Chains A and B, each alone.
Chain A
Amino acid sequence: MAESISALKNGEVEIEYKKSSQIKEIWRRLKRNRTAVVGLFIISFIAIIALLAPVISPYNPYEQNLNQRLLGIGARGHILGTDEYGRDLLSRLIYGARLSLIVGFCSVAFGLVFGVLLGLLSGYYKRLDGIIMRIIDILLAFPGVLLALAIVSILGTGIVNVIIAVGIWSIPTIARVVRGTVLYIKEMDYVTAAKALGESDFMILFREILPNCISSIVVYSTMRLATAILSAATLSFLGLGAQPPVAEWGAMASTGRNFIFQAPHLTLLPGFAIILIVYGFNSLGDGLRDALDPNLKNV
């Protein structure tokens, strides 16, 4: 009791206290959502596998053994079989998890930096809104992965270029989500108060408005991670992303396609891994949306 009173005397501590209780409340709501828990479990599981890849992987994912080519599931010493070069499929899938997570996080981070900035400017400054939104309309005129494809065609193939391409592709949608939230927040009393106190636009944007956009950004980014991983895998499948022999799930499914008659698991298992991770992020995103702000249900 005495502790909390002394804490309340200090404004900073009070804010800290509120924040931690907010996080607890969000966590409580998230825990109640069964789908979100499943999503969180899947993501944690894959993240741990990715992190411990060198320790838990039974073989080197690039080690070839031509005497043990195209072994099926359950083969001795290779629980998920081997590929056309005799490389252990389980080890390649484990290392693939690393790449998928890296690609997903990097491309979404790339999209966030520019998308959030454009969304903030567009929502806050009426003068810029028209022009930024027109540019975004143009970018949104390229359906599905077409924009990412067009960008890869300019930058060239390769995993880094795919990260940039998927990142740029994420910008327009992130900017739209942030702009929508800014338009709503900038009419709030505390923003008007900050303006009346003479705070600079920079401070208002980054200290008053941005922190209040965080929940929608977190929810949207989680969902976008699923899309980013899926798109990057698709680009690799098309031969435009990670190139063989890199252990990347999309590229593995693509090369496995050549052996679809003898060893369908070479192409189906990497695809299943993609489904698992995408499902994980989608479910977690759904759960976070409900936990952070039920009003965001239609975002």
Chain B
Amino acid sequence: MVKYIFKRLIQLIPVLIGVSIAVFLMIYLIPGNAAEIIAGPTATKEEIQNITVKLGLDKPAYIQYLKYMSGVLKGDLGYSFQTGQAVSKAIAVRYVNTLSLAIFSALISIILGVTTGIIAAAKRNSWFDRLCMGISTFGISAPSFWIGLLLIVVFGVKLKLLPISGFNGKIWTADGFIHLLMPAITLGFGSSAMISRMTRSSLLEIIHQDYIQTARAKGVKEKIVILKHALKNALIPIITIVGINFGGLLGGAVVVESVFAINGIGRLMVQAISARDFPMIQGSVLMVAFTFVIINLIVDILYAAIDPRIQYN
């Protein structure tokens, strides 16, 4: 197992380097050059030249990359073109908010998805099964911003039950929890739809196997047959989909943060794109991609730990 984890860590290095190169290259791919963007439209040639030298943009690309990466490794992601603030500082505050949102919505999607999936499988072809599958089809097709806006209209505007914005960054407080509830449901809805479908289908596959029939023949209660005997073996595909979706939640957070005005990395990124604030865009894209890659690694290791059939080599 240790060998497997070590091997996966080694495999991670080229991907991380590749991601960092791709993010670094963004500044080269923009039309015009970064110095012109910082200097503004009224700047003289001299001013642009000064900024080019100051930022080291006149140096060869590989030297600039090495400089950028040595900064990244020390936690220095550069300075915002727009505000002059350190990018790492701006991201650090918002990173916690994005991660809180992603983890909270992952929990909601697992609880909602697995529960509805189990009931739908146990009561196959019932009205509940049809309703669940109908809602999950809807959940997969609906844009998250629309679900967010619908929740705002129903629970925020009409029923006045939940606040529509203003997360304080502290999920562990009652106020933080209440403020993050609607965004987390919005983000987790699509994911819970997929988990529900996967739970239902993998349970249905297992339910017809001989050992389940044997358990039933022995007189074991149906509840125990499903929750103890069947669910245990249906867990692997469910965990797979949970793992894949968790990474996706990080990407989805970009939209949900904008809808509920949460100060997360996603919202920061959208604002930075509109302002063409490249160090901020690079820093936030890099952080989200790195987090995504590391989450995928953890999920892979979890599979190997849970399912003995997965070979470590």
Q: Mark A120-144, 1 if CB is under 8 A from B, else 0.
A: 0000000000000011011101111
B15 sits at the interface (CB 8 A): yes
Task: Give chain B interface residues in 1-39, CB to chain A under 8 Å.
Answer: 14-15, 18-19, 22-23, 26, 29-31
Q: Which residues of B contact A149 (CB under 8 A)?
A: 254, 269-270, 273, 285
Residue of B nearest to A153 (CB): B273
Q: Which residues of A contact B19 (CB under 8 A)?
A: 138, 141-142
Which listed residue, A146, A268, A271, touches B288 by the CB 8 Å rule? Answer: A146
Contacts A145-B255, A146-B251, A238-B270; A260 near B143 (Cβ below 8 A): no
* Contact status B289-A143, CB under 8 Å: yes
Residue of A nearest to B20 (CB): A138
* Contact status B281-A153, CB under 8 Å: yes
Contacts A135-B18, A142-B285, A145-B255; A239 near B270 (Cβ below 8 A): yes
A158 sits at the interface (CB 8 A): no
B61 sits at the interface (CB 8 A): no
Q: Mark B150-194, 1 if CB is under 8 A from A, else 0.
A: 101100010000000000000000000000000000000000000
Q: Which residues of B contact A162 (CB under 8 A)?
A: none
Residue of A nearest to B246 (CB): A143
Q: Which residues of B contact A230 (CB under 8 A)?
A: 141, 143
The residue among A137, A153, A271, A274 with the most chain B CB atoms within 10 A of its own CB is A153
Inter-chain CA distance A257–B30, complex, in Å, is: 31
Task: Give chain B interface residues in 197-253, CB to chain A under 8 Å.
Answer: 247-248, 250-252
Inter-chain CA distance A157–B137, complex, in Å, is: 31
Q: Which residues of A contact B293 (CB under 8 A)?
A: 141
Q: Which residues of A contact B273 (CB under 8 A)?
A: 149, 152-153, 157, 240
Inter-chain CA distance A137–B278, complex, in Å, is: 24
* Contact status B281-A237, CB under 8 Å: no
Residue of B nearest to A281 (CB): B141
Q: Which residues of A contact B26 (CB under 8 A)?
A: 150, 153-154
* Contact status A275-B142, CB under 8 Å: yes
Q: Which residues of A contact B143 (CB under 8 A)?
A: 230, 233-234, 237, 250, 253, 271, 274-275, 278
Task: Give chain B interface residues in 125-149, CB to chain A under 8 Å.
Answer: 137-138, 140-146, 149
B292 sits at the interface (CB 8 A): yes
B258 sits at the interface (CB 8 A): yes
* Contact status A239-B288, CB under 8 Å: no
Q: Which residues of B contact A260 (CB under 8 A)?
A: 149, 152-153, 157
* Contact status A141-B149, CB under 8 Å: no
* Contact status B140-A282, CB under 8 Å: yes
Inter-chain CA distance A19–B274, complex, in Å, is: 51
Q: Which residues of B contact A239 (CB under 8 A)?
A: 270, 274
* Contact status A142-B289, CB under 8 Å: yes
Q: Identify the 6 closest CB pairs spanning chains A and B, nearest first.
A: A144-B251, A271-B146, A138-B18, A143-B251, A279-B141, A278-B141
- 7 other contacts beyond A157-B274, A239-B274, A254-B145, with CB at 8 A cut-off? A142-B289, A146-B288, A146-B289, A253-B145, A271-B143, A282-B137, A282-B141
